[in-house]
Amino acid sequence: MSHEQVVHIVDDDMAVRQSLAFLLGSAGLSVRLYDSALSFLSALPSLAHGCIVTDIRMPEMDGLELQRHLHNRGIDLPVIVITGHADVPMAVEAMKAGAVDFIEKPFDDEALLSAIRTALDTQVRDAQKGSRNTEIVRRIASLSERERQVLDGLVAGKANKVIAYDLGISPRTVEIYRANVMTKMQAASLSELVRMALMAGHSPV
């Protein structure tokens, strides 16, 4: 688990905050505590990685409203909501709005820890995927116009001869451009090249 990942506990109940801090700390997780959604939002500029565990019912701003604020500000930290039995419909609404999980009170310690670890792992994978996509986009941008045209043809499933006909060049020239594309994209095979292009959202013009 990355040392930068922090579990942000947002709950107006001091006893709950302290209990969760002890539980998560004992499990080797880094924790920060906030007594309200507003205090958490005020600290947002310093946040980077991790996840949020928030009570669904809090004064001033509840967990669902907090989630909406995060969404509006483009903050994609995974959110786990803690809910009482009567608040399950609200928790389901939070899930529909993007929360990754909800835990009912009184919650099982292992169930909560499992949900948190899943949320943290998901963020790591998403971050890695985002970084990978950015790199692929950079590689595509390094292609010449003709190389991009050949890439478009390959992604569309066209054979070299068809690409050559479409572009008015010889099949041999297409092979040269194709080799250049494979090198610049750092693709070991045609299937990898197509997969990379699709990952980056690239589609034939």
- Which CATH number belongs to the domain containing residue 153 in this structure? 1.10.10.10
Longest dimension (CA), the chain: 75
**Same domain? 106 vs 170:** no
Residue 144 has pLDDT above 80, yes or no: yes
Closest CA relative to residue 62, chosen from 85, 31, 40:
40
Tally of structural domains, the chain: 2
**Same domain? 23 vs 75:** yes
* pLDDT tens readout for residues 55-100: 988 988 988 899 888 888 777 788 999 888 777 788 888 888 788 8
**Same domain? 146 vs 113:** no
**Same domain? 157 vs 101:** no
pLDDT, position 21: 95
The set of residues, in sequence order, having a beta carbon less than 8 Å from that of 13 and lying 6+ positions away, is: 55
CA atoms within 13 A on the CB side of 65: 11
| Domain encompassing residue 125 | 5-130
CATH number where 101 lies: 3.40.50.2300
Q: Is residue 23 part of a domain?
A: yes
* pLDDT tens readout for residues 9-44: 999 999 999 999 999 999 999 999 999 999 998 887
Among 52-56, 106-110, 143-147, where is mean pLDDT lowest? 106-110
* pLDDT tens readout for residues 153-184: 988 888 899 999 999 999 999 999 999 999 99
